Chains A and B, each alone.
Chain A
């Protein structure tokens, strides 16, 4: 086997040194009743593996070979060549959590830089080293707010938060004695402000709003943060399309105490939904309750700048059941990709990408609105994603278009059976006018 470097002679010498007559001897503690050979096919060569996986890959529609308008918390943005090629370097790919800072300064400094990018983007003071993905990041943000509230037991969530995020919160909260109240959207597609204010009370530990919300609508962070402040709760700003923070007022500017969500848009391919890049940032005064890994700046024995993991007394390997979270890993390699990508785009590029995403969405929205029978049901401003109402059921329509290599959108019926005719359309800097025009023509039955 090519991943096993031991020769027969070496194995014999090793067994002699151990004092065992065979490798089998070393398994004496494993009872015979639990032994079993796996019923698997014989080993495959590299060529055969590539053939197998190449065949499976070819049976999926992909964004490079289709007209692609899917979003819903996962976007087809450009990933800089360096951001991906750097990930092949063994020093990044095959290292682990920087528990030993003297031989991990590369990882530690990169995380420190990633934390800085997230702080600058969110407008908050402290960010962690990343979390699994957006939905669990929201859970961690809410649990953090609950700990800080010291005894409050209710979270108020906007119905504009990604449905899979809300479902994840319900899974986690089910056994923790915590209540969830969902605030509906108003007719314009934004969170209903009156209902939001009414839902928040002195038992509320967090008020969470997503912007742009799941339906693409740009929310006013102040709606959530004002309601939270009045009741002494913490305000959580959720972002599922991170590039929006380059153009829109970020959660920190809008009064959020915690920002969290998904940063896949910043240098991470879609990966069929994972690995992604959860993020969490907060105000400085709350940093001791932040979950996940944190990198801090310090000095080495000679006084030089160095970095290391810090505040680890919050974490499970020390605090066990009293830890701020059970998580142990972050998404290190994805955070690196994002650090590289953000560094390349920087101040100007991030904004230019955001402007292009928005301008293309505005163009497409305007063109679809002209197609007979099609409507844009929500009037509120949107960033790069919007809801379309079709004159027929959306799911079969979208399946028909997919067969023609147009991935036109996500049917809302996927999350709400009543929403039969509506679907979600997203654009990024990757879309060109011609493919948007072909989508419009296809919807109009002209192509």
Chain B
């Protein structure tokens, strides 16, 4: 997948004093006096500026002057420097990089959704309110929990909402308590969210199977613990088979069981968190429900809650009257309040609803496909890569570089070499309990040929590690840029273009 270097682009840059060859100049470097990229109608009202000069600016020095042609080409060329799901397997563990149905994109752009304003009178917004209400009901059915808020903008925002609701519920009955228990395998957002809800974090060590050590939990689960945050399946892709005992221990001390639903893709439509004793759980619409990742957002992080937590849901909630009309209920005195403006990332609600409708009552096939694929990769690689925990795998499998380190090759090197084989690397910074992790999540939308090609590439790389490790250490060799100096970027900070 070598990408051509724009010679012309390079010469544009050198004309501005930058002699290095670059793939595509910055849009600002294409700027030139007299070029225009827009057109506006003539002003149909008197021209006037009724603002004192002292409160105005003269110009936006340095802003662009480029034509539409150049902008179209610039962003098309830039796009070709990205790897994407539509090009091939993108097995970034914990991120659930699955196919994004295109009809959903068109639906989100319908005028009644994309050009609608949430502060219009309720009477002319019934379609939008019904859509959000329907999605809430569906997520409630899938989680087995009675109510859902759609407001949080992403998973971490949902975690914060969930822990704030727990806090408010505990305050209502006495003290908010001081601590949240989090396993050492958890996503980094969990402790950060607990911290921003005003809690101390106590880490819970995983056992040799990579799951919760019930004895350690019993010791740690004191009456000062507000909640335990548990990822199901955990970041090793392992289902906590003692989930019912875990819930019992947490509840016995009056705590709440929070589930990080980032990995819901492993059991959506097969099992329900509500039946597991989970009290509160965020879902990532951009993972399980296929709203596009878009190069890093927008996401959406709805939160499902048990009956006890309903009074504390963020304001406003979406309610249905007896006559079938919908309204926003802001009069909720026990609510934790608002977490952002308006209703949340509504455009993502449209896409998620469309996605779930396409599967309907067969949505369990998503989980079954995801788990089958991860296990197939595991079976294809266990003899060449080290598997720290051999507990059964659900939707993702975490190998490590232990065998390859002996040849002086790290998981980072393996990740870079995978690019030469035409794949996006797996997650490598995570989970912290596996040193040199290679966290692979294929999702259900990869077919056997793609999985076979990936397994083949990983096996070839394992062979190269033994026979020619230098080729791995200097990888990637075929990408638009060679290995990027990330240390240098942090040392010598250049965070913007300057005129």
Contacts and interface: CB of A to CB of B under 8 A. Distances in A.
Contacts of B322: none
- Top-9 shortest CB links A-B: A273-B342, A57-B112, A175-B198, A59-B127, A333-B294, A275-B298, A332-B296, A5-B447, A90-B86
B53 to A, nearest CB: 9
B48 A346 contact: no
Contacts of B481: 101-102, 105, 300, 302, 304, 306
Interface in B92-138: 92, 95, 97-103, 105-121, 123-128, 130-131, 138
Contact of A98 (B62, B286, B296): B296
Interface core residue of B48, B102, B197, B447 (most chain A CB under 10 Å): B48
Contacts of B198: 174-177
A74 B51 contact: no
Nearest to A294: B495
B221 interface: no
A300 B347 CA distance: 37
A157 interface: no
Given A171-B337, A304-B481, A403-B124, A88 B490 contact: no
Given A5-B445, A37-B361, A102-B480, A355 B37 contact: no
A121 B60 contact: yes
Given A91-B84, A105-B82, A381 B55 contact: yes
B24 interface: yes
Interface string B144-169: 10000000011111011000100100
B283 interface: no
A106 B298 contact: no
Contacts of A373: none
A113 B62 CA distance: 12
A162 to B, nearest CB: 7
Nearest to B27: A343
Nearest to B117: A70
Interface in A98-119: 98-107, 109-110, 112-113, 115-117, 119
B224 interface: no
B408 interface: no
B59 interface: yes
A340 interface: yes
Contacts of A410: 119
Interface string B373-395: 10110111000000000011110
Contact of B52 (A1, A295, A381): A381
Contacts of A187: none
Interface in A22-49: 23, 26-31, 33-44, 46, 48-49
Interface in B344-394: 344-348, 350, 353-354, 356-365, 368-369, 371-373, 375-376, 378-380, 391-394
Given A46-B358, A56-B127, A303-B20, A100 B299 contact: no
B51 A112 contact: no
Interface in A208-263: 218, 220, 245-250, 253, 262
Given A328-B189, A355-B49, A120 B63 contact: yes
A18 interface: yes
A26 B115 contact: no
A135 B424 CA distance: 34
B495 to A, nearest CB: 5
B121 A76 contact: no
B144 to A, nearest CB: 7
Given A1-B359, A100-B416, A102-B476, 19 more contacts: A5-B447, A10-B448, A27-B267, A28-B392, A29-B394, A58-B127, A61-B116, A95-B84, A99-B427, A136-B157, A298-B492, A300-B483, A306-B485, A310-B489, A321-B192, A322-B195, A325-B192, A343-B66, A358-B50
Contact of A298 (B394, B480, B488): B488
A111 B86 CA distance: 21
Contacts, number: 711
Nearest to A409: B119
B20 A304 contact: yes
Interface string A52-85: 1111111111111100101011101000101010
8 contacts: A18-B375, A38-B364, A136-B340, A301-B483, A304-B482, A307-B484, A349-B36, A350-B63
Interface stretch (B67-75, B302-310, B456-464): B67-75
Nearest to A320: B191
Interface residues of B, number: 212
Given A4-B444, A82-B72, A317-B188, A348 B65 contact: yes
Contacts of B83: 91, 95, 100, 103-104
A330 B194 CA distance: 20
Nearest to A171: B337
A248 B362 contact: no
Interface in A156-206: 162, 164-165, 167-168, 170-172, 174-177
A94 B486 CA distance: 24
Interface string A337-370: 0011011111111111101101110110000000
A10 B450 CA distance: 12
Given A103-B419, A273-B346, A433-B45, A358 B51 contact: yes
Contacts of B11: none
A371 interface: no
A360 B49 CA distance: 10
A185 to B, nearest CB: 17
A394 B493 CA distance: 52
B292 interface: yes
Nearest to B494: A297
B43 A344 contact: no
Nearest to B125: A60
Interface string B325-355: 0000000000011111111111110100110
Contacts of B109: 84, 269
Contacts of A393: none
Contacts of A167: 315, 337-338
A407 interface: yes
Contact of A321 (B110, B201, B369): B201
Nearest to A249: B57
A102 B445 CA distance: 24
